[in-house]
Amino acid sequence: MSFQAYLDAVEKKTGKTPRALLDEATAKGFGPDTKAAPILEWLAADYGLGRGHGMAMVHVITKGPGIGDKHVGTTGTHRDESDTLWLDGAATKPAPAT
């Protein structure tokens, strides 16, 4: 599963875009210096997210939308289209370049 697919699944599970969850996390005081555990506890308690989907949000909350380019443009199951994650919801995501 690609990193972006995890975030798209988070949106389906919570009904909130990753950006909305990021804004909520910021309002709760979570940010770059926050350890994973309190963020995971919040996401599990409020949204029922498991560790895998929660860790995708931990990355966004603590490191921003940038990811490594290791799988960008590859053909494997972890392939991502870009090294920048789309946080504004699956419905607004631009179509992949052809």
Write the pLDDT tens digit of every residue in 5-55.
Answer: 899 999 999 999 999 999 999 999 999 999 999 999 999 999 999 999 999
Mean of pLDDT values over 67-80:
74
d(CA 28, CA 97): 36
Characterize 5-18 residue by residue with b for buried, 16 or more Cβ atoms within 10 angstroms of its Cβ, and e for exposed.
ebbbbbbeebeebb
State the pLDDT at residue 97.
64
Spatial contact of 29 and 40, defined as CB atoms under 8 Å apart: no
Q: For CA atoms 56, 53, 22, 37, give the dihedral sign.
A: negative
| Lowest-confidence region among 22-26, 54-58, 72-76, 81-85 | 72-76
pLDDT surpasses 70 at 98: no
d(CA 44, CA 42): 5
Helix (H, G, I), strand (E, B) or coil at 17: coil
